[in-house]
Amino acid sequence: MTLSEKLQQALTSAVAKRELPCGNVLVLKDGQEIAYAEAGSDLLTGKPITRDTIFRLYSQTKPITAAAVAMLMERGLIDLMDPVEKYLPGFAHPSVIRADGMTEWAERSVTLMDLLGMTAGLSYPGEDPAAAYAARLFDTNTQAILRGAGMSTVVFCNEIGKLPLAFQPGREFRYSSCADVLGAVVELADGRLFSRFLREEFFEPLGMKDTGFCVTPENRSRLVTCAQRPHMNVWNQMNLCVGRYDTEPAFASGGAGLVSTLDDYARFATMLLRGGELDGRRYLSEQTVAWLTAPQVPAGLFWDWNSGYNYGKLMRVCVDPGKAAGLARKGEYGWDGWLGTYFVNFPDIGVTLLLNQNVTDTGTASVTRRVRNIVLSDPLTAGV
């Protein structure tokens, strides 16, 4: 059985078991396709999934934001030890809220490096005191977006800076709105809108024609319908101020806002795999890519359930394959999205794996782990 056939079997089985309505998988070696599979159909229209189906990336947006930050670092426009208030004054004089609801002054400013490692003390919406503040702000902006308005990237991230931190900067790891704030920093340091920066510096030169913060009218039929767990009913709401794709948003979320296709994201992934160069154009230096894909968080801070991995520059990095829940390679890096999109590069064997689906509360799903094991155990990926 070929690798494509094995992947097809895995996807078809997952669709039959209602793990997802539809999805597709692409595997490349040294930038060349070695396997592709697709299964299922759009939940609302019944249209079979195709290779050019557009998916919401959610947190798979984050590696692209990290690359944008790295590009500005190379150009000398930012120093990663810069305090965030240098760009966003709302981050000046931060406070920290304890579990008992009492606050204290932060011992130091939040830095750009803190943001890259998710050790800044920021929060996504939730129930503990710091996350509850974030929930109110995100809800306020969401309601404004639904009314046809909404805060801009810079305004919204400046408001994030005014919220109390969950812990002293650098002390802990908390997955949060750090990438959104970095998007605002890119915008302010470069002078272009964050969406325009990504389009002109990455998407257009890389040929990522279907990647962006909105979907044009002529392409809207290719945007897949999102499903909601556990019953796989249609989900068309907003999350993290993201969910309206009919127009360019005022808030370009560097943590969750992009849509893309397998082939588009493969261009970005291959650029990283080739040390920052693709088709004769250099985007980042080899040294910068090595730094971008290296672990950053002190041992023991990253999520316990992600055993074998560390975190840094908005991506997971494998540091101990033997502790991973399945086949893994030391030095592999990538990230996934809330709706189940998944990206990973395996630099030592030159392999890229991309999987797309859009189902709420998915992240790295069981089908994704099964697909990983299929790919890493196949002779094609080792070149045998």
- CATH number, domain at 284? 3.40.710.10
The CA distance from 367 to 30, in Å, is: 24
Assigned domain for 116 exists: no
pLDDT tens-digit map of 270-329: 999 999 999 999 999 999 999 999 999 998 899 988 999 999 999 999 999 999 999 999
Assigned domain for 273 exists: yes
Q: For the chain, how big is the Rg over CA atoms in Å?
A: 20
The CA distance from 163 to 165, in Å, is: 6
Strand positions, DSSP E, the chain = 22-29, 32-40, 55-56, 95-97, 103-105, 226-228, 233-235, 259-260, 277-278, 281-282, 309-312, 315-318, 333-336, 342-346, 351-356
Residue 21 belongs to domain spanning: 3-59+223-228+263-382
Assigned domain for 374 exists: yes
| pLDDT at residue number 99 | 83
Assigned domain for 52 exists: yes
| pLDDT at residue number 243 | 96
Q: Residue 246 carries which DSSP code?
A: S
Assigned domain for 284 exists: yes
Assigned domain for 213 exists: no
pTM over 0.95: yes
The total of structural domains in the chain comes to 1
| pLDDT at residue number 304 | 86
CA 166 from centroid of its chain's CA atoms: 22
The CA distance from 101 to 123, in Å, is: 15
Give the chain's residues under pLDDT 50.
Answer: 384
Assigned domain for 315 exists: yes
| pLDDT at residue number 383 | 64
Assigned domain for 99 exists: no
